[in-house]
Amino acid sequence: MRHGNKINHLGVKTGHRRSMLANLANSLILHKRIETTLAKAKELRVYVEPLITKSKDDTTHSRRTVFAYLKNKYAVKELFSAVAEKIGSRPGGYTRILKTGFRHGDAAEMALIELVDFNETYTTAAKKSTAKRATRRSAKKAVERVEEVPTPATEVAAEATKSPEAVAE
């Protein structure tokens, strides 16, 4: 029975699971986005988010701790330089999981896991949506529209400004 065991064993032994998660974490850090099964993506999130939190504090101890998990100096360098720089102000939630459907071979549920601040489509869309817009139409077009369509009041005002001889005719 699995009373109190909250870890998903992913159907493999401990050594294999640790190596697999380390490899997935390396790929995620280096490529910023990977596609894997939903179960692995959820476990990878639990594995990699504490490492990203440690990367905010760039000390020798935190680098060695992260290297003990990742075992790849290039991934550690990328994590402490580019990734830590972008996520420095974020309090947590560094990854996003998007379900992509089912794999054809075995119908496993697939997902895309990515680092949140590195997806330009979401970050630019969020910036655009938070910007406050005053009106849906531009002021220039509104002025042109008013000038093109004369109203009865503007016609009367235009006739009043004409010379008295033009009105008499």
pLDDT tens sequence across 79-114 = 999 999 998 889 999 999 999 999 999 999 999 999
Element (H, E) at 14: helix 14-31
For tokens 């390396």, the residue is: 26
* Domains of the chain with bracketed CATH: 14-120 (3.90.1030.10), 139-168 (no CATH)
Asked if 97 and 42 touch (Cβ cutoff 8 Å), the reply is yes
pLDDT tens across 28-75, in order?
999 999 999 999 999 999 999 999 999 999 999 999 999 999 999 999
pTM of the model: 0.71
Please state the rounded mean pLDDT for residues 125-150: 62
CA 65-70-74 angle, to 5 degrees, is 105
Mapping DSSP onto H, E and C, the string for 127-152 reads: HHHHCCCCCCCCHHHHHHHHHHCCCH
